[in-house]
Amino acid sequence: MVAHAPARARPLWIVAALVVLALSMIAGMLGGAAGISPWQVVLQVLDWLPGVEIDAGLAPIEQGLLWQIRLPRVLVAATVGGLLAIAGGGYQGVFRNPLADPYLLGAAAGAGLTVTMVIVLLPGGGAAIPPAAFAGAVGGVLLAYALGNTAGRSGGTVTLVLAGVAVTSFLTAIQTFIQQLKVEELKRIYSWILGDVRGGWDQIALIAPYALVSTAVLLLHGRMLDVLSVGDDEATALGVRAARVRLVVLVAACLATAAAVAVSGLIAFVGIVVPHVVRRLAGGSYRVVLPLSLIGGGAFLVLADLAARTVIAPAELPIGVVTAFIGAPFFVGVLRMTRKAEM
């Protein structure tokens, strides 16, 4: 078991993570054909703060580029990355399974299926996407959990993941069938499936309430997840209602996943890579893992989006391809360590 990080170290890790996130966002705003210096970007960001007046030396068209295109894109990437990472940490705490994450548990596939249904069957129904994604995420996780339970306890920690893979494949097959009902929407759907954080201020406003509620609930339950990690009997003895805590955290993690999927599509492995890195660096306490996953996930996806924009510039890679290149080998390593721990 990974030792919990001492409480006195927590503010230092938070500050360090925020610095990394800020630097990542500045780097993300620098990416693009227009040559704007890092110092000008920093000055322009400071100028946007209330009560601050600084001349960054940028032309109006350059200011518009930063405000209307680059800043919203960076904020969408940071928000989506943070939501997927903190949701992954929440799922891992609920199921006490280091391999659990929104993509592998069927949450993202369930959300993807319901969002595809909205795109195909309800043209212009943008407001229906977040609640539809939430319903699909909850349904996908519950289906994977029910299927995993049919194997009993003998399957080990990998059983739930295998059930999630089966559910994901099944839901993806249904999604592919639905896509054929409206072929003219295929390009939009496939672009969404591969992941895309090219959002605007309207998308940020759309998911902001869902993001705020889900992250607040997850952060407030960090201590409860620490208690659950020692076992249900011990948690009950300490006055913690394990079933209720699991339900609340599961719903909040599904809401976070749904909010991310609603604006960015399916982006895999963020929810497994970031929490594991956090545990290695700062310890296993969920009071540390959850806030650091939120911040670290934002930085991770901003940098992944920067790589997607620059690797084959002037063309762009889908961001889901970048996260898969990083996450797939990482997942194999985590899987091997988990199997060794069970033997």
Q: Provide the residue type at 21 as one letter.
A: L
- Count of H-run helices and E-run strands, the chain: 15, 0
| Tens digit of each residue's pLDDT (9 = 90 or more) over 180-225 | 777 666 776 776 677 778 878 888 988 899 999 999 999 999 999 9
Q: Tokens 């069970």, residue? A: 342
- Predicted pLDDT of residue 33: 62
Share of the chain above pLDDT 70, in %: 88
What is the structure's pLDDT at 297?
A: 96
Four-residue CA torsion sign, 251, 163, 80, 88? positive
215 or 61, which is more confident?
A: 215
Tell me how far apart the 2 most distant CA atoms of the chain are, in Å.
Answer: 65
> In the predicted model, is pLDDT for residue 143 greater than 50?
yes
Identify the band that residue 36 occupies on the pLDDT scale cut at 50, 70 and 90.
confident
Higher pLDDT, 77 or 59: 77
pLDDT reading at 34 higher than 80? no
Any idea what DSSP says for residue 49?
S
Among 23-32, 86-95, 181-190, 224-233, the range scoring the smallest mean pLDDT is: 181-190
Q: Which residues contact 214 (CB under 8 A, 6 or more apart)?
A: 83, 86, 87, 252, 253, 255, 256, 259
Tokens of 282: 């700062």
**DSSP states of 101-142:** -TTTTTHHHHHHHHHHHHHHHSTT-GGGHHHHHHHHHHHHHH
DSSP string computed for 258-291 = HHHHHHH----SHHHHHHHHHHHHH-S-HHHHHH
**Residue ranges of the domains in the chain?**
7-342
Cβ atoms 239, 311 nearer than 8 A? no
3-state secondary structure of 195: coil
Task: Check residue 119 and give its pLDDT.
Answer: 79
**Mean pLDDT, range 124-143, rounded to an integer:** 82
> What tokens appear for 320 in the block?
């889901």
Per-residue pLDDT, averaged over 159-176, amounts to 86
Average pLDDT, the chain: 84
- pLDDT at position 153 is 53
Average pLDDT over residues 322-330: 87
129-149 helix and 158-179 helix, angle to the nearest 10 degrees: 140
Which 3 state secondary structure label does DSSP give 313? coil
* pLDDT tens string 244-258: 898 899 889 988 988
Nearest Cα residue to 48 out of 201, 196, 199: 201
Two structure tokens written together for 62? 């350059």
Structure tokens at 53: 């007046």
Helices (H), 180-241: 186-193, 201-220, 222-228, 232-237
User: What tokens does 299 get?
Assistant: 């930085």
CA atoms within 13 A on the CB side of 91: 38
Distance of CA 123 to CAs 49, 119, 211, Å?
38, 6, 24
**What CA–CA distances, in Å, run from 175 to 140, 170, 314?**
13, 9, 31
Orientation of helix 107-121 relative to helix 242-264, angle to 10°:
50
Compute the half-sphere exposure of residue 142: CA atoms within 13 Å on the CB side of its CA: 10
Question: Domain 7-342 in CATH: superfamily?
Answer: ABC transporter involved in vitamin B12 uptake, BtuC (1.10.3470.10)
Between 215 and 317, the more confident residue is 215
**Mean of pLDDT values over 119-141:** 80
Percentage with pLDDT > 90 across the chain: 29
